[in-house]
Structure 1
Amino acid sequence: MKKIIYILLVTLSFISCTDVIDVDVPIAEPRLVIEASIDWEKNTIGNEQLVKLSLSTPYFDENNMPMVTGADVRVTNENTNDVFIFDDQNDGTYTTSTFIPILNNTYRLEVIQNGETYIAHETMTSVSDIDDIYQSTENGFDEDALEVNVQYTDVANIENFYLFKFQKEGDLLPDLIDMADEFTDGNQITMFYERLEDEDINQVEFAPGDVVDIHFYGISKQYHRFMQLLIAQTDSGGPFGATPVALRGNCTNPNNPDNYAFGYFRCSEVVIDSYTFQ
């Protein structure tokens, strides 16, 4: 009996020592965020493009990111010297309807904002065609769960990098999967995407009638590495998760290197499709 009372007292003493600790989180100065994805949908003109500018906010700030207006935004084809001016829409977006995408050409993004100039370079990267899209229960982690399968044929003897974006209609955010052809050069590849039941995030498996939007991008080696790190940090968790680090994009500030911008300038050919489960 004495042992039971002793254990109870020790337990109560631990409970009574629980305190709420307020931690001061360092707040950095706002930094320019550049969202510049020049996506050329396969078999279209690709003339309409958009760049989005905003300012970073503290991690626990519940307000929306402040949009940046009044900037000068242009993209230059460094192979042809064609310059494309992006017009300020006064809501943080800058658009053009005159862009000319050319595969394997190098483009330079230039953003002038608040007296600072930000520069980034990227090459317009091609993507393979999608050979087939179908459903099954064979390739995923749960043999009873529906999955969507996307087949494509990698171009042989060329170092290729790809990005898949899958998003079920109604979901707020997509799932991203990066791919490289280091071990699959020239082969037909099948990429599968399934949703496992997860009560913690209110996620259920795919069911007949569900629609999945699919974006298949060709991306540069540099952007592939960036996305690998981003996806690893996004999916990290538990004791063996990746340690979060500041992730630098390719938007530099030549005159003031420490004042670089967040975000990335990407030039990709993309195949867009969707699949409805039967």
Structure 2
Amino acid sequence: MKNTIYIYLVILISTLSSCTDVIDVEVPTADARLVIEASLDWEKGTSGQTQTIKLSTTTPYFDTDETNSVTGAEVTVTRDKDGAVYVFEDQLNGEYTTDAFGAILEESYTLKVIYNNETYTATETLLPTTSITSVTQSRDGGFSQDALELNVYFNDPADETNFYILRYHEVGDLYPTLSSVSDEFLNGNEIHLFFEKDGDDDGDEFEPGDIVDINLYNVSETYYNYMDILISQSGSSGNPFSPAPVELKGNCINITDADNYPYGYFRVTQTDSETYTFIEDEDE
């Protein structure tokens, strides 16, 4: 009887094994495009002279080991009013840097990237930003009951249209969290924004001792719309192989071949920053 059962098991396992087929899935690919990460941020209280621009190329989804950093490009930024040119030196790792950038508020700047005999350009104006007036913590304003949250306050200037990006980066996290807000219904008033971890369990909530770096940017309407879409798409879930709802293009254009457009954005803005450390509640 035991031998019979053993024989049946061998036959069953062999049958199941023989039913396994290897399926080759053809994943669609596209030609590599240049990706321009050019965020020139002048932090209040600094000279703003040290700036970095990153260049890379898009890669196929499964080519995780492929190096996509771009080297050998020519990168410059020109202040349009007086023609001052700032050369960004190739660091041979995809980064291009300068220690001599001249930041002047309300001035227009033009980026030029020459790569593979094609020229990419973009233009932005260096906008001033308001200051963060206060950062506090609380437990009663977020979506999760009793979870620690961060409150950021700043005053919106009256009689002008402003668009803001807030960047929250918890020390130790790989990526920051971004949020966008306009003063369409808040013009001239104090703006209060809160930041709470988006977790499914208590282990994902803020705890006393956690440190968060905060940056406030006043940005152009074009960049605000770009980031609003990016934030919305990055927060959505779904099939990783499905295309993005919108192909997100920035303000960089290829003046040599318009069809070979790049991804990314050229931004020039002032920023105000604060660092907050969560503390124990008085009632704990």
Local SS of the residue matching 2:253: coil
Local SS of the residue matching 2:232: helix
Cα separation, 2, equivalents of 1:19 and 1:221: 53
Cα separation, 1, equivalents of 2:127 and 2:23: 50
Q: Give runs of aligned pairs for residues 171-186 of structure 1, distance below 5 A.
A: 171-186=173-188
State whether residues 154 and 187 of structure 1, in contact with CA within 8 Å, keep that contact through their aligned partners in structure 2.
yes
Per-residue deviation at 1:255?
A: 2.0
Structure 1 counterpart of 2:197: 195
State whether residues 118 and 255 of structure 2, in contact with CA within 8 Å, keep that contact through their aligned partners in structure 1.
no
State whether residues 105 and 124 of structure 1, in contact with CA within 8 Å, keep that contact through their aligned partners in structure 2.
yes
Amino acid at match of 1:118: Y
Local SS of the residue matching 2:150: strand
Per-residue deviation at 1:230?
A: 0.4
Of 48, 57, 60 in structure 2, the residue corresponding to residue 58 of structure 1 is 60
Structure 2 counterpart of 1:252: 253
TM-score, normalised on structure 2?
A: 0.86
Structure 2 counterpart of 1:227: 227
Relative to structure 1, the CA distance from residue 97 to residue 65 in structure 2 (aligned partners, 3 Å threshold; closer, same or farther) is same
Per-residue deviation at 1:157?
A: 0.9
State whether residues 55 and 65 of structure 1, in contact with CA within 8 Å, keep that contact through their aligned partners in structure 2.
no
Cα separation, 1, equivalents of 2:122 and 2:199: 41
Structure 1 counterpart of 2:14: none
Any idea what the Cα deviations from partners look like across 1:69-110, whole Å, max 9, x if unmatched?
111100011122111111111111111111111111111000
Cα separation, 2, equivalents of 1:243 and 1:53: 22
Local SS of the residue matching 1:212: strand
Relative to structure 1, the CA distance from residue 44 to residue 64 in structure 2 (aligned partners, 3 Å threshold; closer, same or farther) is farther
State whether residues 57 and 68 of structure 2, in contact with CA within 8 Å, keep that contact through their aligned partners in structure 1.
yes
State whether residues 78 and 111 of structure 2, in contact with CA within 8 Å, keep that contact through their aligned partners in structure 1.
yes
Per-residue deviation at 1:197?
A: 3.2
Q: Give runs of aligned pairs for residues 108-187 of structure 1, distance below 5 A.
A: 108-187=110-189
Structure 2 counterpart of 1:79: 81
Of 30, 50, 62 in structure 1, the residue corresponding to residue 32 of structure 2 is 30
Cα separation, 2, equivalents of 1:32 and 1:71: 11
Alignment partner of 1:99 is 2:101: yes
State whether residues 50 and 94 of structure 1, in contact with CA within 8 Å, keep that contact through their aligned partners in structure 2.
yes
Cα separation, 2, equivalents of 1:260 and 1:243: 17
Per-residue deviation at 1:18?
A: 11
Amino acid at match of 2:261: Y
Relative to structure 1, the CA distance from residue 25 to residue 177 in structure 2 (aligned partners, 3 Å threshold; closer, same or farther) is same
State whether residues 153 and 186 of structure 1, in contact with CA within 8 Å, keep that contact through their aligned partners in structure 2.
yes
Cα separation, 2, equivalents of 1:171 and 1:60: 24
Per-residue deviation at 1:174?
A: 1.1
Local SS of the residue matching 1:131: strand
Local SS of the residue matching 1:209: coil
Local SS of the residue matching 1:233: helix
State whether residues 196 and 204 of structure 1, in contact with CA within 8 Å, keep that contact through their aligned partners in structure 2.
yes
Cα separation, 1, equivalents of 2:91 and 2:117: 20
Any idea what the Cα deviations from partners look like across 1:15-54, whole Å, max 9, x if unmatched?
xx99875431211111111110000001211011111111
Which entry has the higher C-alpha Rg, 1 or 2? 2
Amino acid at match of 2:256: N
State whether residues 34 and 52 of structure 1, in contact with CA within 8 Å, keep that contact through their aligned partners in structure 2.
yes
Local SS of the residue matching 1:231: helix
Structure 2 counterpart of 1:7: none
Relative to structure 1, the CA distance from residue 81 to residue 232 in structure 2 (aligned partners, 3 Å threshold; closer, same or farther) is same
Relative to structure 1, the CA distance from residue 110 to residue 203 in structure 2 (aligned partners, 3 Å threshold; closer, same or farther) is farther
| Percent identical | 48
Relative to structure 1, the CA distance from residue 87 to residue 156 in structure 2 (aligned partners, 3 Å threshold; closer, same or farther) is same
Local SS of the residue matching 1:259: coil
Relative to structure 1, the CA distance from residue 19 to residue 176 in structure 2 (aligned partners, 3 Å threshold; closer, same or farther) is farther
State whether residues 132 and 274 of structure 2, in contact with CA within 8 Å, keep that contact through their aligned partners in structure 1.
no
Local SS of the residue matching 1:60: coil
